[in-house]
Structure 1
Amino acid sequence: MHRTSLSAAVAALLTLSSAPLLADPNIPELDDVIVTATRTAVSVNDNLAPVSVLTRQDIERVQARSLIDLLRGLPGVSFASNGGAGKQASLFLRGTESDHVLVLIDGVKVGSATAGNVAFQDLPVEQIERVELVRGPRSSLYGSEALGGVIQIFTRRGRGQGFTPSFSATVGSDNTREASAGVSLNSEHGWFNANLAHADTDGFNSCRGRASPGAGCFTDEPDDDPYRNSSLTLNGGWRFEGKGDLQANFLRAEGRNAYDGSFVNESLWRQQVLGTRLRLQASENLVLNFSAGRSEDLSDNYGAGVFKSKFDTRRDSYSAQGDIGLGEQQLLSIGADYNDDRVEGTTAYVEDSRDTTGVFAQYQGQFGAHELQASARNDDNEQYGSHTTGGLSYGYAFSEGLRLIASYGTAFKAPTFNELYFPGFGNAQLKPEESRNVEIGLRGHGGLGRWEVQAFQNRVDELIAYDAAIFAPGNVDEARIRGLEASWAASFAGWDLNTSLTLLDPKNDSAGSNHGKQLPRRARQSGRVDLDRRFGDFGFGLTVAGQGKRYDDLGNRTRLGGYATLDLRAEYSFSPQWLLQGRVSNVADHDYETAAFYNQPGRSYFVTLRYSPAR
């Protein structure tokens, strides 16, 4: 991909939506444009943030079984999972906490306001068109939660012009049955897409625990733990020629999850996201964006078939943003966000709602070989008051394909409802967690492919943990995380290679007995290699992913061994529209754990049939 100037990105911003995936997906240049890192349309090469982009083609090529499967091993990314399909999974981005990553679905903020995490395991991969993963602090643009980075998921979009249907069906190990079907209608001015998906598996025994202290799930339930997920996405919009566009999107995923637990061992859950966005080209140098959205995280929890608890959270968000072209290769963005979180259920919280208002500004400019991005934001929350964050990035292009990048950013994470208000546990005096991140990187592309090396250090203060002195959560912990990320993508002799490596030093910097210990469930080394080759109508590929040893506890007493898994895949296109795929996961049937006592899938087999006229 050739490097383009910021003026080209501004032109893209003025002619496309702020979410350019909603334009004609057959235009290949759109694969080179991202929107999450700066909240504006910027080419991959001109963006100064470390970003990983995964498209629908990538999802189908690697035959990803879940969002977790798709993201694992990417630079800075590691997961800890409490079992197989649908079981709770925590994402650690650059060694930060599992609730230190902001997740957006089609621009709408998602996640549980009570627990503070995102149910990655419940977001169906068959409903995903594209993922943009931005590493490093982005609170200066998005506010709370973007301490470790931002992940934005774009739901399925139709391909081609006119009416286009699609279909897929999968069978596999653990009595897995999956199916999806979709239709899209695209014209010069409008588009509409609908996609249904269903997944059902008998699963396997999630936990090898015992009914005694320190035994993982604190129960002995040696049975299979099934999982069911049914989902629907709808999205559409209309382009007003030369004036902007209006779009709307909807995602609903619901199902049943059985797991091992001493108090609850089954949940009926629902994830729902609704959003709309209006883009107006007010003048040649001004684009206005207005958006509104609502996300819901709902669960009814049972133990041995008896109802135990209900947790429902709702997050409403509203945004206004103006992007102003100041001149050649200069762009100023100013905006405001309003968020309102509400909690309902069987637990009576002292406070069950709170709102936050944030205002921000960002400048992007390019001056010959030099590029500058600067941003600042202030968030005013009715609970913890005002908080200001900022970011500064500088890039220098040595040549067309070689660039040096340095950046500094601050971020924060607001306490959750559980940490603040849970009866008998919460501490309403908690302050936000704060971080200071500095990094430097070198990025290149050309005859040897695309590569990037990034070194960073992130200091996180006021980390929230249980404080025995007050018998409640307190701002008592600190962390110092250093890391090196490297990635390389290239094609040679007909082979496509994608590799990534993360070296991490996730250190507990708190006073006391745990000072200097490795942060729980973070490995010092992790990586992934994808290798693919086509032979006419046949395709073959493999993925090797692994992590070094980790510890499951703050005191580093429970060791989790390092591991590596090999996945093999093959496919055959017996017509331009029909594709038959097969995958063998964990070929060596390796036993490993990413969380103590919780089993991970052994050798598994899957066969998928896909149909799409626009393939």
Structure 2
Amino acid sequence: MQLWRSLIIFLLPLVALAQQTAVSGTILDETGLPLPLAHVTVIGQQAGTTTDLEGNYLLESLPPGTHTLRVTAMGYRPGISEFRLQPGETARLDLHLEPAVEQLSETVVTGTMKAVNRTDTPVPVEVYSPTFFKRNPTANIFEGLQNVNGVRPQINCNVCNTGDIHINGLEGPYTLVLIDGMPIVSGLGTVYGLSGIPNSLIEQVEIVKGPASSLYGSEAVGGLINVITKAPLGAPEFFSDGFVTGWGEYNLDAGGKIRVSPKSDLLLGVNYFNYDVPIDNNGDNFTDVTLQERISIFQKWQVKRPQNRVLQWAGRFFYEDRWGGEMQWTPANRGGDQVYGESIYTRRWEVLARYQLPTEEPLMLAVSYNDHDQNSVYGDTPYLAQQRIGFGQLTWDKTAGRHDLLAGLALRYTYYDDNTPATANGGENNPDQVWLPGIFVQDEWKFSPRHSLLSGLRYDYDRRHGSVVTPRVAYRWKTSEFGVLRLNAGTGFRVVNLFTEDHAALTGARDVIIEEDLQPERSWNANLNYLQKFYTRSGHFFALDASAFYTRFTNAIIPDYDSNPDEIRYRNLDGKAVSMGLSANLEMAHASGLRVSLGATLQDVSNTQNGQRQRQILTENFMGTWSVGYEIRALRLAVDYTGNLYGPMRLPLLGELDPRREFSPVWSLQNIQLTYKGLGGFQLYGGVKNLLDWTPNRGNPFIIARASDPFDRNVTFNASGDPVATPDNPYALTFDPSYVYGPNQGIRAFIGLRYQVD
């Protein structure tokens, strides 16, 4: 008997081991393609793995019973499914992951220059994936941002259609645009810097609303946009995405990665856009939309180094020929005074690189340079400009106990020259050259698991303005596993760069008057943000991201359109300018395939001088955005309905007799798209843009003032140089294309095809 007892005791562990079970399967995306490197875990068990290149996984040594499998992958909503295992059984469980409504759990770098989980950073950062932009395909990121809450692409000229990006109602010069963290897009190149980057090469777009000058220096006054491109290792082997619209627009993205050597990979992307069909639906004899031909070539290299040290560099070449004007204009009329046209030739190239030094201390060197050459004519007025920006930065990143430290040295060089009075001094050409050295430090103190405090300080020196100091502080309270409350306060600054004030100022029909030596603008900002996410066991997802913001400016440079209809006057505001409001985003996803994204912003942007408060021109007091999608899995068909809504904004009239509206109406752009995903690696998509056929000429007698007399030959002026009313000119107007607040392109259909090999 004793022998049997001993034998049973000896065999019990072996019997228990034999009762261990396993689960295996394949993780797929919504199109049925395998998802490599997805994280697979069993909740409540010490079991986890990642999928291989074919999306397969295997988890062994699981006890019998009911378990919950959880799968996460970058850019996708977590997949959760229950399964039951019998003793000795190996179960099969495949899962399809749906694209994330928004990458709320993604790694972000823009807020603190460190790669951290979005809920762990003290600085609120909004993240948008390529999936977000595919719901309303556009030819460039500039247009794609129209469905981001609190962000509005602003077209500044009815004829040439160039523009800038508004964040929380602030003008484009207050928005800093980065590519892979490098400030190579500035002033002259903003609209071009956001064009020509193939959407398929974009890893994500990160947006910070509010000053970020303590890390990024000048121009990060109202916010920044960081376009992050894919690393070559994670890029598709080949991709192509092309579409055509009913207006005759053609857009093609193509490229992929190339293995140059066992230690070097190259990412190549090409974008081509063409629109050459003049259309005049509003009958003013001017093109409704600027005609364009654009090509952009992008390359990014990555080299494997010992200890995973970073070495990568990238380059982009961009060329564009765009024109708008009277319908009979041809290149032979360029620069003449018989037929009015605005023709812009742009040639731009950019290079950027990152190199981690082979030192014990973590030191990262980042450099970038761009050269922008623009040859333009506006009627018979030439505008020739060159801008070069060089940037270098050395950062030290160190963790010491509960302190996460960052310090850096930065140097930025800006060269700007044109043929206007902006770069003239005493009748001689005097290009603007600015060296802007800076030093910054940052400390994030994690004094408890749920609380952290970030403080930062930056010092910059501009020989024209002297020393500029920009501090900031941020507090984070992680209220729960998926909830975080953040309070941010800080300052921003912007040194003078006249061109960035208003594109139309140096290219339109008005004279530019600079009334004084412009001083750098300063801003003070406070932002309270709350983010809460909810995941249910059945795979449902909800998220609320709400903010209250307040920004106050001193020395604000505000263009004065009102004092003289033929002039734009610039001076530092002797008073204050304020932007304040509330913003909220609500994200929902249902296991049935329904996705809903809603956003709304209420804002009040004004300036006060001599006790007089005035609402800022071309700024809406409210806006809303939405995206509703539903996937019919049985048909492998996805439906997406996207749109935006803008409140009234004050518009630049030419005088008291101007019959056009002083305020824009409430207006909306709405789109619908169908995507068929049952063609293997192909996706066929199509739909309709601007469903309401809205254009800004609705309710207005005309949009472009004096379109029939673009050279003002039949305008009578008084002794002071002001236009006077005549029978031929009853409203006392001059030719002016600056009355613009939205795109002038009506309803149109589109169809496209995507193909990707991973």
Deviations 1:478-520 (A, max 9, x none): 31111111012221132122221111011222236xx332211
Structure 1 position 279 matched with structure 2 position 367: no
Q: Which residue of 2 aligns with 1:491?
A: 589
- Do 2:418 and 2:431's aligned partners in 1 also have CA atoms closer than 8 Å? no
Structure 1 position 240 matched with structure 2 position 285: no
The structural deviation recorded for 1:242 is 1.4
- Partners in 2 of 1:198 and 1:86 — Cα distance? 19
Deviations 1:51-100 (A, max 9, x none): 22122233234323432332124232123225799721222111222100
Q: How does 1:123-162 map to 2 (within 5 A)?
A: 123-126=196-199, 128-155=202-229, 157-158=231-232
- Do 2:232 and 2:300's aligned partners in 1 also have CA atoms closer than 8 Å? no
Q: Identity of aligned pairs, percent?
A: 21
- One of 473, 476, 486 as aligned partner of 1:395: 476
- One of 616, 619, 635 as aligned partner of 1:522: 619
Q: How does 1:588-607 map to 2 (within 5 A)?
A: 588-592=692-696, 596-597=739-740, 600-607=744-751
- Partners in 2 of 1:497 and 1:85 — Cα distance? 36
- TM-score w.r.t. structure 2 length? 0.70
Q: What is the number of equivalent residue pairs in this alignment?
A: 574
Q: How does 1:198-597 map to 2 (within 5 A)?
A: 198-202=272-276, 221=286, 225-260=290-325, 265-280=342-357, 282-283=359-360, 286-303=361-378, 308-327=382-401, 329-347=402-420, 348-349=423-424, 350-366=430-446, 367-418=448-499, 425-426=513-514, 429-447=517-535, 448-465=541-558, 473-476=570-573, 478-492=576-590, 493-511=592-610, 515-536=612-633, 537-553=636-652, 558-592=662-696, 596-597=739-740
Relative to structure 1, the CA distance from residue 479 to residue 41 in structure 2 (aligned partners, 3 Å threshold; closer, same or farther) is same
Q: Which residue of 2 aligns with 1:214?
A: none
Q: Which residue of 1 aligns with 2:19?
A: none
Relative to structure 1, the CA distance from residue 282 to residue 590 in structure 2 (aligned partners, 3 Å threshold; closer, same or farther) is same
- Partners in 1 of 2:647 and 2:680 — Cα distance? 42
- Do 1:156 and 1:233's aligned partners in 2 also have CA atoms closer than 8 Å? no
Relative to structure 1, the CA distance from residue 27 to residue 560 in structure 2 (aligned partners, 3 Å threshold; closer, same or farther) is closer
Q: Which has the larger radius of gyration?
A: 2
- Do 1:277 and 1:291's aligned partners in 2 also have CA atoms closer than 8 Å? yes
After superposing the two structures, state which structure 1 stretch, 470-479 or 337-346, moved more. 470-479
Relative to structure 1, the CA distance from residue 56 to residue 601 in structure 2 (aligned partners, 3 Å threshold; closer, same or farther) is same
Relative to structure 1, the CA distance from residue 166 to residue 266 in structure 2 (aligned partners, 3 Å threshold; closer, same or farther) is same
The residue type paired with residue 562 of structure 1 is V
Q: Which residue of 2 aligns with 1:216?
A: none
SS in 2 for 1:122: coil
- TM-score w.r.t. structure 1 length? 0.85
- Partners in 2 of 1:458 and 1:413 — Cα distance? 14
C-alpha RMSD over aligned residues: 3.4
Q: Which residue of 1 aligns with 2:247?
A: 174
- Partners in 2 of 1:188 and 1:58 — Cα distance? 34
Deviations 1:125-162 (A, max 9, x none): 5454421111111000011100011111123555758x
Relative to structure 1, the CA distance from residue 205 to residue 225 in structure 2 (aligned partners, 3 Å threshold; closer, same or farther) is farther
Structure 1 unaligned regions, length at least 5: 3-25, 211-219
The residue type paired with residue 529 of structure 2 is G
Relative to structure 1, the CA distance from residue 590 to residue 425 in structure 2 (aligned partners, 3 Å threshold; closer, same or farther) is closer
- Partners in 2 of 1:221 and 1:147 — Cα distance? 36
Q: Which residue of 1 aligns with 2:12?
A: none
- Do 2:512 and 2:568's aligned partners in 1 also have CA atoms closer than 8 Å? no
- Partners in 2 of 1:410 and 1:207 — Cα distance? 46
Structure 1 position 48 matched with structure 2 position 122: yes
- Partners in 2 of 1:156 and 1:229 — Cα distance? 22
- Partners in 1 of 2:289 and 2:167 — Cα distance? 30
After superposing the two structures, state which structure 1 stretch, 177-186 or 354-363, moved more. 177-186
- Partners in 2 of 1:539 and 1:272 — Cα distance? 38
Relative to structure 1, the CA distance from residue 206 to residue 425 in structure 2 (aligned partners, 3 Å threshold; closer, same or farther) is farther
- Partners in 2 of 1:288 and 1:206 — Cα distance? 56
Relative to structure 1, the CA distance from residue 340 to residue 491 in structure 2 (aligned partners, 3 Å threshold; closer, same or farther) is same
The structural deviation recorded for 1:122 is 3.4
Higher relative contact order (CA 8 A, sep 6+): 1
Structure 2 unaligned regions, length at least 5: 1-37, 40-72, 77-102, 327-336, 425-429, 536-540, 698-702, 704-737
Relative to structure 1, the CA distance from residue 165 to residue 180 in structure 2 (aligned partners, 3 Å threshold; closer, same or farther) is same
Deviations 1:433-472 (A, max 9, x none): 1111112122111235221110011111111246889996
Relative to structure 1, the CA distance from residue 119 to residue 471 in structure 2 (aligned partners, 3 Å threshold; closer, same or farther) is closer
- Partners in 1 of 2:358 and 2:543 — Cα distance? 34
The structural deviation recorded for 1:353 is 1.1
The structural deviation recorded for 1:343 is 2.2
- Partners in 1 of 2:382 and 2:568 — Cα distance? 25
- Do 1:84 and 1:203's aligned partners in 2 also have CA atoms closer than 8 Å? no
Relative to structure 1, the CA distance from residue 144 to residue 518 in structure 2 (aligned partners, 3 Å threshold; closer, same or farther) is same
**Which one has a larger percent strand, Structure 1 or Structure 2?**
1
SS in 2 for 1:583: strand
